[in-house]
Amino acid sequence: MPDVRAVTDLAECRGLWEAAIPREFISDLWEVRECFHRHYRHVPYFMVSENRQGLRGFLPLSWNAETANYLYFPGETWHGKTWLEQNRLILGDPQALPELLAAVPGQFYLRYLQGDVNPYIPRETTDEIGYFFLPPLYNFDFQSYFDVFSHKTAKRLRREMDAFAGRGVEYRIDHHGDFETLIALNVQRFGEDSYFADTRFLESFRSLMALLADRGWLRLTTVVIGGQVAAVDLGAVYNGTYTLLAGGTHADFPGIAKLINLYHMKWACDQHLQRVDFLCGDFNWKTMFHLTPRPLFVYEGQGGKVVQTGMTGARAW
């Protein structure tokens, strides 16, 4: 019989994570997850299924006393739901998943699970839709991408972008002080619904930005129009993927999000990156901009009983 055990020692959890989780996306990195664990301090509860051949299944959880359930590590929450995406269930055997879930001693709520790389996740449990821009589809040529827009849409976008250009557009990169402006803009727009209204999330992001800067993965983009900051986006460039993690826009510049997103996409083409991850969120511009959808999935239940769930709603920046 396979052995299922729970690991709560953080050092052992790290060893298991780094041995099992592929380092594909920025959120796959233990160092990134630890930025959030450091400030949320939820108890790690890593479920491991093993047999004589080795690891059969791996389910890294955290116990969140506030929500009274087990969440995907590190269990960082906003409105009761975790934020980090591209979560993985590591399964070498389809029977490992029910065994692992049956051993969870309480309620669990696991979201943003990758499914296209794991055949054991049922497709009816869609959580949200993530969106990629894929420069290779356009031969890394931004104009080829722009040509997929209808004539009417392309003309309207050019008119909007030209209007900004007429006011004097400047870009500055990695001006670390602009992170505080990003926070201020985000909170001004979303108020208590801003992630940054939670000091734990805010401090987690401060730690994350410091990590990204130290590793050379940070890309902090600021748009200045007529001498005033109009938008700030924080992103990470890792393993050929440019992930946009957070942003803030000034209310006096309607449409500025289109400008900065097009700037990200052109830069990704110029750098020959494989993809730009715009994360989840049901915003109209993502479909209008012909981004490639990628569903992520959710499991919830108790002690091995999985209940089917549907869409959980969009995230807000």
Q: What is the mean pLDDT of each run of 10 residues along the chain (317 residues)?
A: 85 97 97 98 95 88 96 94 94 84 93 72 75 98 96 94 94 97 96 95 98 98 97 98 97 95 98 97 86 91 56 27
Give me the pLDDT at residue 311, please. Answer: 30
How does strand 107-113 pair with strand 69-72?
parallel
Asked whether the domain spanning 135-273 has the same topology as the one spanning 3-130+295-307, the reply is yes
Buried b (16+ CB within 10 A) or exposed e, 174-193: eeeebbebbbebbbebeeee
**Number of residues that make up the chain:** 317
Domain spans, the chain: 3-130+295-307, 135-273
Contact 90, 96 (CB under 8 A): no
Predicted TM-score of the model (pTM): 0.92
Query: Alpha helix (H) ranges present in 191-298?
Result: 199-215, 256-270, 284-288
Give me the pLDDT at residue 116, please. Answer: 58
Give me the pLDDT at residue 79, please. Answer: 87
Give me the pLDDT at residue 203, please. Answer: 98
Query: Alpha helix (H) ranges present in the chain?
Result: 10-20, 30-40, 96-102, 142-146, 151-166, 178-190, 199-215, 256-270, 284-288
**CATH class of the structural domain 3-130+295-307:** alpha beta
**CATH class of the structural domain 135-273:** alpha beta
Please compute Rg for the chain using Cα positions.
21
User: What is the C-alpha separation between 158 and 226, in angstroms, rounded?
Assistant: 19
Give me the pLDDT at residue 305, please. Answer: 55
**What is the SS3 assignment for 218?**
strand
